[in-house]
Chain A
Amino acid sequence: MNGCRLFYALRYLALLIVLAIYFALGPFGYAGFFILSLFPGRDRDRRARLLQTIMRRAFRLYHAVVRHLRLIHYDPDSLRASLPKEPSILVANHPTLTDVTALIASIPNLTTVVKAPLFRARWARPLLHDAAHFEGDDGRLSSLERMLDDAEDRLKRGYHVLIFPEGTRSPKDGLHRFGRAAFELATRTGAPITPLVIRCEPRWLIREAPLLKLPARTPKLTIQALEPVYPTGITSRKLRDMVQALIYSELFEKEPLSKSSSPAEGYARINRISPEEAHR
C-alpha cells in the first residue's frame, strides 16, 4: 500500500515537472514557429511537411518522456504498418485529450480540422496554418462549405485528414452521434475512410478525470486502425452509420462488426432500435 502511494506521489511529481517544462519552454517553441512564419518560402507543401515532421518528432519525444515517467503508456510506432498509403480520411473516437498528441506522433502527412477559436488564436495560427491544418466550421453554412473545400484540398495535396466526428470528447460508455462532414467529404472525393479505434484505460484527461486528477494506474493508450472503407455506391448518411457502428462495436461489443460486418445491426445496437428502423 505504501509502495503504491509512493509510486503515485512520484508520478504526480513527474506530472508537475512535465507541466513546468511545458510552461517554461513552450512559449519559445511557439515564438520559433511565429518567426518561421514571417519568412514564407516558395513551396507551401515543403514547408507544411517540414512543420508536420517537427510536430511529429516533438510529440514522439513527448510520448517517450511521459512513458518513462509512467504518466501515459503509448507506443507511437504501433500504428505505422496499418495505415493506407493513399490519402485517407481518418475518423476516430475521442476518449481523451492525449489521443490528439498520440495521433500526431504516429502519423506522417497528417492534417486535421482545428476548432475555430483555437485556429484563430494568435499564438497557434502560424503553426497550425503553415502545417496545412485547417479551420473547423463555426456554425455558419458558408464556413461549413469552406471547411469541406479545405479538407478536399488537403486530400488532393496528398495529406491524411483527421476528423473527430463526435465534435467533442466521447462519453464514458458510448459514442456521441457522429456528424456527417467527414463522410460527405468521402462521398465527394472518393477518398477512403480509415476508422481509428482509440482506447485509454483508465481514462484520463476527460471531464471526470481532469489533468490534475491522475488515475491510480498509469493509463494505457492504444490506437487501432480498421480496414479502410471506400465510399462507393453509398450515401454519406449510410457511410456515417456504418463507420459509427464499426467503431462502436470494436469498442463495446464482444464480437466486433469488423469480423462479421452487418452495419444495420450495429447501427441498431447503438441507437437501441430495430434493424429495420436503422435503414431510415
Chain B
Amino acid sequence: MLEDISPEDIVTDEPLFVEGLGLDSIDALELALAIHQEFGVKTEPDDERNREIFYSVKSIADFIRSETGAEKQASGG
C-alpha cells in the first residue's frame, strides 16, 4: 500500500487518513478487505461508523477486538 513507510513510522493512535498518514478512500477499501480476510470481520458499509473505525490503528484494533471477542488479541494493522 505505502511502499516507503515502515510499520514503526505509523503512530498507533494518530489519524490514518488525510491529515495524518494521508491514506485515501482506495486505501480504506483495501484495508477493509484485508481486515475481512485476516480476521473474518466485516465493516459496515455505513459511512459514519467507518470514519470512526478507520480513524487510527488503535480504533481499528478496538473494532476487531470488539467484533471477535476479547479472547482473541488482535495485533492491529
Interface residues of A (CB under 8 A from B): 137, 139-145, 179-181, 184, 235-237, 279-280
A180 touches B24 (CB 8 A): yes
Cα–Cα, bound, A141→B46 (Å): 8
Interface flag for B37 (CB, 8 Å) = no
A139 CA to B45 CA in the complex, in Å? 10
Q: Mark B10-48, 1 if CB is under 8 A from A, else 0.
A: 000000000000001110110010000000000101110
Bound together, the chains give a CA A143 to CA B50 distance in angstroms of 13
Q: In the complex the two chains form, what is the Cα distance from A142 to B42 in whole Å? A: 12
A235-B3, A279-B4 given as contacts; is B47 within 8 A of A139 (CB)?
yes
What would 17 more interface pairs be, CB under 8 Å, given A180-B24, A181-B26, A236-B26?
A139-B47, A140-B47, A141-B25, A141-B29, A141-B32, A141-B43, A141-B45, A141-B47, A142-B45, A143-B45, A144-B25, A179-B25, A180-B25, A184-B26, A279-B4, A280-B4, A280-B5
Q: How far does the alpha carbon of A237 sit from the alpha carbon of B21 in the complex, in Å? A: 14
A237: B residues at CB distance < 8 A: 2
Chosen A-B contacts, 11 in total, with CB atoms closer than 8 Å, are: A137-B25, A140-B45, A140-B46, A140-B47, A141-B28, A141-B32, A144-B25, A145-B29, A179-B24, A179-B25, A236-B26
